[in-house]
Amino acid sequence: TKIDRWFMEKFKNIIDYYKILNSHSSGSITLDILRKAKQIGFSDKQIAAAIKSTEVAVRKLREEYKITPFVKQIDTVAAEWPASTNYLYLTYNGIAHDIDFPGDFTMVLGSGVYRIGSSVEFDWCAVGCLRELRNQGKKTIMVNYNPETVSTDYDMSDRLYFEEISFEVVMDIYNVEHPNGIILS
């Protein structure tokens, strides 16, 4: 395949852990198993499929176990000096958040990747929304994962989460940020 063995080993680790998850039911999954699955990168939906449960049930169990993601800043300067960007992401491989959560933000959800029938015009709706919120003196959170969009420019929002638009991720950001509201673009 000419794929480096390092990557192949990472793929094998994911497959092996999926088999471990698959050998459990929703009633037998432990704190350690669930935490490691999240640290490896499994979504609640993927875990639910493996243990024959639902995404909401896995989320509830994760919340009971207090397994929640940490918010980290994307280091745009390769650790040469402290990063001070508004680019953020969620991870289960952390011990503390990189930022504080003072509240009083409005969250805007982007359209994600471009698809046939859903592209630039939907991102422009998000951009227009962000600009109007800024004109009203409101602080904004943008959630989107398409780096080719205007809504993910560094100066469009006060906080920018490069994350997929899914129930799990949006709720995780909502629960940590406690925004005044959410706007769907």
Domain ranges of the chain: 5-64, 70-184
Q: How far apart are CA 138 and CA 180, in angstroms?
A: 10
Give the separation between CA 63 and CA 175, rounded to whole angstroms: 11
How many Cα atoms sit within 13 Å of 157 on the Cβ side? 28
Burial of 123 (0-12, 13-18, 19+ CB in 10 A): buried
Name the pTM for this structure. 0.90
Question: Domain spanning 70-184 has what CATH number?
Answer: 3.40.50.20
**C-beta separation of 122 from 111 below 8 A:** yes
pLDDT by 10s per residue, the chain, length 185: 799 999 999 999 999 999 999 999 988 999 999 999 999 999 999 999 999 999 999 999 999 999 999 999 988 877 788 777 889 999 999 999 999 999 899 999 988 776 666 666 677 888 899 999 999 999 999 999 877 777 777 888 999 999 999 999 999 999 999 999 999 86
Tokens coding 163 = 């994350």
**Whole-angstrom Cα distance, residue 138 to residue 155?**
14
Q: Are 111 and 123 in contact (CB under 8 A)?
A: yes
Neighbouring residues of 82: CB distance < 8 A, sequence distance ≥ 6:
none
Tell me the fold of 5-64: Carbamoyl Phosphate Synthetase; Chain A, domain 4 (1.10.1030)
